A and B are shown apart, each in its own frame.
Chain A
Amino acid sequence: MAKVLIENLYKIYPAEKGRPEKVAVDNANVEIQDREFMVLVGPSGCGKTTTLRMVAGLEEISRGAIYIDGKKINEIPPKDRDIAMVFQNYALYPHMSVYRNMAFGLELRGVPKDEIRRRVDSAARTLGLLEPDNLLERKPKALSGGQRQRVALGRAIVRNPKAFLFDEPLSNLDAKMRVETRTEISRLHRHLDSTMIYVTHDQTEAMTMADRIVVMRHGKIQQIAAPLDLYHQPANLFVAGFIGSPPMNFFNGTLTASRQGTLEFVEKVPAGQTPFRCPLSAETSRRLSSRQDREVILGLRPEHLHPNSLTSGSTLEASVEVVEPMGAETFVYLKTGGHTCICRTTQVEFMDLEGKKLNLGPDLSRAVFFDPQTEAAIPA
């Protein structure tokens, strides 16, 4: 149970023949609280795994520092950091039984035999490795993917470490197993009540499991926030587009003054087409007054575009291209004057609308505005 502090962390791969210097992690600062479930998320090559591996001690720290419970661990070898790691490919020792796989780390630490037996049995019971079938004497080869995953979890649990590190632990499982294991890990987190750092490229995993999420891109941290804060108040265009599925809709346009003295968003469209205009509330207008007559990007979640809307204010006319019924809800892919956009609705009467026109009512109270130059969200 520990607090992990990442301070001005850099990973720099020096230039080699034919390859320029590469900054894999660029000045990362993260404070992970005791018992927090922190997820590092981002596209591949964003530096999330490198960061995790530096915490584990598998990767040299180029600059900066990592502290666990206030103790600087830069020069401490992995085994003395009191962390456990679950690898993407499980990394179970193929020549050892499940029992020995879990016991190995404890044996090396000189834990007494009966204590090892007790801890392994307890972990195995928690993870369902004892029932319905006792898998402890099997070799990893004789296990299914999900079972291997649970052994890998067990190996981490028995160590009772200060922090658990997960490196994309679900990416080798099929879709169904992935969802099951996801909840399993969440349950474990509550049960063990310990600090967990979890790396994934899958934003759904991040959203569903995390207490807080670190979004990374090109080695830089984009935003650190709780899942819903991230969802509703993304710090920039990248986070807005990366988090949420289907992704946020973006509209380029300008803010102009309307007759009522408030601001109005006017979509930027090719010449000859009618732009979609919509007035902002008085409060939003006040907030964005400095942006008057300047270009902005309007971001709207698919669920904040209401089809056939009766809401006041102007509507957005769009033609329906594809309708994807998901059961509980429906995704409608639309084309408006200058953009394509996605609308997500729980209404079901859109099934036969492909190719037809539809009026959309944007809920601007939920909109996020971005600066097109800096791509940052315009602060609320």
Chain B
Amino acid sequence: MTRKIFVRLALVPAISILATLALVSIAGAIWFALMNRTLRSPEYEFVGAYNFLRLLRDSRFFNALEISALWELITVTGTLGLAVLLSVLIYETVQKPLWRNVICFAFLVPVLLPRVAAAFIWRFMYSPSLGVINYLCGLVGIGPVEFLADPSLALISVAVVDIWQWGLFFTVIVLKLMETLPRDPIEAAMLDNARRWEIHAYVTLPMLKGPLVSLALVKAVESLRSFDLIFVMTGGGPGKATETLDLYAYQMGINMGGRISYASAMSLLLLVVTTIAFTVIWKAGKKWAA
């Protein structure tokens, strides 16, 4: 068996399955977005850009767009902020490798949980009548707080769960990255009598700028798939306070009469945004790797 045949046999099945499935779903989304197809009736016809034009006049779509943008902003900054803060804290206060490992293990647990499970765990704790958090709030004289039923709190409350899962995970990554940094610049700064926080703000964190930006972009793309968490915790409610784009597309495509074409137009939009973000990540990653 020559090299060429081996490479072909190894690559072609995997790549052709992936390419077929990807092509079918993208071509399908474009095709359906140009029709007026619904799940209810078998008949449909070509309507051109009608679905896209209607999106522009759909206030619920713009609400979903706004919620998605807000969700991105809160979860990405929250996750990265928490990760940087905690990793510096652990780096400074925990020196024994054993304890560092214990903390890393504990911090990895939340991200491994299925989103559905994390959602239930926190719904249980947020519950106004029997949740632990409201019990603690009661001890200091607040509450009961309707974390998931109050429109002004619901999005933040769900975002806390996302940050709990990803912020702790990224803390472990940033800590591991800090451990691999060369010691010389840090020791030089210490000789100059720099304060602890100054060393991190001006020496270690700038050295990690590349990986931190990559992590932020990875989280940004990951945050776009928030469906599981929000679906189980609030279902998009109260009202439309937590309805992100993928939730709205799901409601349109499945629940509300199965308006497949309209939902396709929306998911295409999401696809374009994700692809652009992803291409930027890839290019940036190549640049830093070089």
Physical interaction between A and B: no
Give chain A's interface residues, CB within 8 Å of chain B. Answer: none
